[in-house]
Amino acid sequence: MTIAEVSKKYDISADTLRYYERIGLLPPVPRNKSGIRNYDEESCGWIELMKCMRAAGVQIEALIEYVALFRRGDETLDARKAILIEQRAQLAARMADMQRSLDRLDYKISMYEQGLMRVEKRLQKQQEARETACGA
């Protein structure tokens, strides 16, 4: 696939794809005889992984290290696994922080809703009192 096709498929700009390759976030992409990038299934797999990892907040530096270790071969399996475990722990901590924030927002919203309910009940009682007074 061409860089334009990959860019469209994964919703990543061509500049970002070139940048990711230049800094080592993606292994070198195969090229055709004219030197034009020809993304294959393996290249696309790396793009999917990087999109997922970046969306999870994994730092570019950690991903560059991961790719560099991958390129060195199987003797780096433990080091790569350690990177993933560390990044998972960081993501879990961020998710816990986000859950606490969400819980706090839900609580605050419920306080507003309860306050509004009290105001509505008070207004309803006032309306009923007026109707009773007018009907008497």
Q: Are residues 107 and 81 in the same domain?
A: yes
Q: Are residues 89 and 52 in the same domain?
A: no
Q: Are residues 59 and 91 in the same domain?
A: no
Q: Are residues 55 and 100 in the same domain?
A: no
Q: Are residues 19 and 83 in the same domain?
A: no
Q: What is the pLDDT of residue 14?
A: 95
Q: Is the pTM of the predicted complex or chain greater than 0.95?
A: no
How many domains is the chain partitioned into structurally? Answer: 2
The whole-angstrom separation of Cα 77 and Cα 110 is 49
Q: Which of 48, 72, 96 finishes a domain?
A: 72
Which CATH number does the domain housing residue 36 bear? Answer: 1.10.1660.10
Distances in Å between the alpha carbon of 128 and those of 114, 117, 119, 123? Answer: 21, 16, 14, 9
Sign (positive or negative) of CA dihedral 9, 10, 12, 17: negative
Domain of residue 15 covers: 1-72
Chain segment 71-106, per-residue pLDDT in tens: 999 999 999 999 999 999 999 999 999 999 999 999
The whole-angstrom separation of Cα 4 and Cα 72 is 30
Chain segment 22-51, per-residue pLDDT in tens: 999 998 899 999 999 999 999 999 999 999
Q: Is the pLDDT of residue 136 over 60?
A: no
Q: Are residues 79 and 58 in the same domain?
A: no
Q: Are residues 42 and 100 in the same domain?
A: no
